[in-house]
Structure 1
């Protein structure tokens, strides 16, 4: 699912919309159903789901998609199914019914496969022939405008997932050695903590705040963290006060996305929960829902009970708009009450 707070693309026809969808999602969909939501004349959201298995009831995914789109305060939508008619048509029909039930105007319902598109709503042979209408997204002005604006549409979702995949080979061996060194450094930090510092909590937080500050500063300068710095940071992020400190300083800026992507890819598997969640949050805040989803999948695959990942999973599944966090972190997350410190407590 993805917000569309990006350079505007002029969509004037079904072929233009089909050309725009990969840039709204960040990749070319296949075996999918996509709902493009509009508010007035502006596209505000695109949501994608896998086509259900032929024996599965499409009503469940359809209701979910309709609910997500409705929460974007959209008033109209177009449905696009990708794949063979036998698999696409039942799903598109179910999504159409769910959108109508949710009170959204249905502008069109399309099927796309093998370089052709069909409309489920148009029955005029001159406009929508039975054999479908050919289209060439490479020749579309929408594609040219998107590329000129720097937008990217990866070949498929697997290519997007590869952008957050763990490094391998010599880079992985180097990170394992760096993490071993960082673990010894961490033990020493806790052992040197004064007796009044229970379990070294204050020392860990101070070291974590410094590591996060240095990482963000290096990223602003365009500098990449070395293996030792990444290993030290990922270990300290397992301390929740440090993770929350980093979270409060993470937004939808490109540098935040770049930093946490790099840290996630290089972190050891047992240490990915925090950087994966921070990347998920940054991507979601930036309106890059597909990137947020693949980062979250990495976190939950290894750490299915990680609380921040579960919270973000709920936000993405419910389609909560990133705009609800304008003013973060003062406003808190939707559904999470942030208690303000009293002035007396502050003193």
Structure 2
């Protein structure tokens, strides 16, 4: 049976991620249904600006878009809690597509993967939130039952299960499996967690589709023109040092409002195809230039043909992963692997993301980037946290 925290208002504390004085970081993971082209498992830290209190189940549901970075639909969302002294603290948020019908082997595999993350992260308790506009109480109960089975096998308590048709102001939510609680959802945009995220500089998108559109490739005809330029434009004999400096200059120019011309896109594609240049640029993810660099990676990931777009997409994936934006990292890495299924960096990062690996576990790539840049004789911007 599901053991509920209480039938009254439950208080949870969302602690700031990164260098939080409260210790520990807020991990968010989102997984796509295995039948979808996206890879399952997008772990990330949720950047915040300080502890935020969540007063009741409605507040908790309203905070989910801010914790994930987008508003989920047809989803199973796990809110993972640390029930130490004082109010419970949200440690992680995980998401998986709901099954179209009965719970199948792929759904059980995803639930088991999430339960393994809970065990590894020493999660004490989990609240399940089902977001589904369809009336499928049988499927909802089956999902909760499967979840409780896997969590209990890992020593994790399922302390609540809630269902809501969509995460929007005024929509009714209710408890499942005998939980009598119910209510109307407050405005997610006005939630304290959403405010903390916006103040921390993190966008909250209306849907996953809006997230995917950020790196959606330009029309084939436009990219085919660039592919032709890549074939016809003579390659310059440039040293890796000069290619790295070229990319850094283009980042600065884009930040000042000057977008690269078509021939400059070709030069950038060739520069990023040099593994030494690409690896050196990984260091930007932990510097004050990370946002500016990401804008160039997005521009190139949309404009370049396959397989060239894999390089900027992988750089974007690493940068998003390093700063704790798992959903953005997952979308970018999918784009990289679609452009080049054998891309080693994207494949490695995607595997780490699926397994729920924390961002600090991949921080060594930024250190390697600084070392590579030093070998090339290029001084990179300093790391923000002395990494």
TM-score normalized by the length of structure 2:
0.71
Write the distance in 1 (CA, Å) between the matches of 2:353 and 2:305: 25
Matched, 1:236 2:271: yes
* Greater mean alpha carbon deviation, residues 6-15 or residues 267-276: 6-15
Please tell me the root mean square deviation across aligned C-alpha atoms, in Å. Answer: 3.1
Which one of 39, 47, 50 corresponds to residue 5 of structure 1? 47
Deviations 1:88-130 (A, max 9, x none): 3222322233223223343422222152222236534xxx2xx
In structure 1, the residue matched to 2:131 is: 82
In structure 2, the residue matched to 1:19 is: 62
Which one of 46, 51, 55 corresponds to residue 98 of structure 2? 51
Task: Give structure 2 stretches of 5+ with no counterpart.
Answer: 1-28, 30-43, 372-387
Larger radius of gyration: 1
In structure 1, the residue matched to 2:172 is: 116
Count of aligned pairs: 313
Which one of 67, 71, 90 corresponds to residue 116 of structure 2? 67
In the TM superposition, 1:1-347 aligns within 5 A as: 1=29, 2-8=44-50, 9-39=52-82, 40=84, 41-55=88-102, 56-57=104-105, 58-83=107-132, 84-113=136-165, 115-120=171-176, 123-124=179-180, 128=181, 132-138=182-188, 141-142=191-192, 145-146=195-196, 149=199, 151-168=202-219, 173=222, 177=225, 180-181=228-229, 183-187=231-235, 189-190=236-237, 203=238, 205-218=240-253, 221=256, 223-251=258-286, 253-326=290-363, 328-330=365-367
Deviations 1:20-74 (A, max 9, x none): 1011111111111111223443323222111134242332111011123434443
Deviations 1:157-202 (A, max 9, x none): 1111011112349xx63x6555544554443x24xxxxxxxxxxxx
| Aligned partner of residue 34 in structure 1, secondary structure | strand
Check conservation: 1:36, 1:45, Cα contact below 8 A. Answer: yes
Write the distance in 2 (CA, Å) between the matches of 1:122 and 1:256: 50
> 1 or 2 for the larger relative contact order (CA 8 Å, sep ≥6)?
2
- The structure with more helix, counted as a fraction of residues: 1
TM-score normalized by the length of structure 1:
0.78
1:242 deviates by 2.3
Write the distance in 2 (CA, Å) between the matches of 1:139 and 1:232: 42
